[in-house]
Amino acid sequence: MFKKYLHFIVVLFIFITSCKTAKHTSNAETKSNKEINKTKHILDGNWVFVTMPGKDVKLTELFPNKMPEAMIDVSQGKISGYAGCNRFSARMTVDKDNIKIIQPILLTKTACATMSDNAFMGILENVNRFEVRDSFAHFYSNKFEMMTMKRVKK
């Protein structure tokens, strides 16, 4: 009879300690995820297009409705937004000051009267480096600055 109670107590002890261990592991994982989420990359956030190369480019004519916008999430490897007429989404990688937009870029198919999407997508496809100064992100293709975007709060 004593052996049955001893066996029951041992099994109960193992069950209780295993539940506590699982709880501690879960809390550790949650804490780790919170710490990761606290670490924001300098590119994370919402950006609006402000300049592109070319002296003769009139941005209000190229983008008559609204300037292109991008939402960047480096930890998820995503960039998405508005290209001037259509919405876009793409995967990306960032390593130090290098950025690579992974093809294909997904784009909605709204009929547009302007070539604004082509202009913005052409730039986006060719960027490979960035610098962030103050509230501005400067995107380059090698040494040539392709566009500047300004951080916006949403």
Give yes or no for residue 34 having a pLDDT over 80.
no
SS3 71: strand
Average pLDDT in the 68-82 region?
97
- C-alpha to C-alpha distance for 43 and 131, rounded to whole angstroms: 9
Task: Give the model's confidence band at 111: pLDDT under 50 very low, under 70 low, under 90 confident, else very high.
Answer: confident
| pLDDT(2) > 60 | no
Distance of CA 12 to the CA centre of its chain: 47
DSSP state of 150: E
Residue 44 in tokens = 């994370």
CA Rg value for the chain: 25
- How many domains are there within the chain? 2
Question: What does the pLDDT read at residue 62?
Answer: 86
Mean pLDDT value of segment 84-109:
95
Q: How confident is the model at residue 72 (pLDDT cuts 50, 70, 90)?
A: very high
Q: Are residues 92 and 20 in the same domain?
A: no
Can you tell me the distance from the alpha carbon of 57 to that of 15, in angstroms, rounded to the nearest whole number?
Answer: 71
Does residue 118 sit in the same domain as residue 135?
A: yes
CATH of the domain at 92: 2.40.128.270
Q: Who wins on pLDDT, 68 or 38? A: 68
Find out whether 130 and 140 touch, Cβ atoms under 8 Å: yes
Assigned token pair, 69: 């916008």
Domain span at residue 140 reads: 45-152
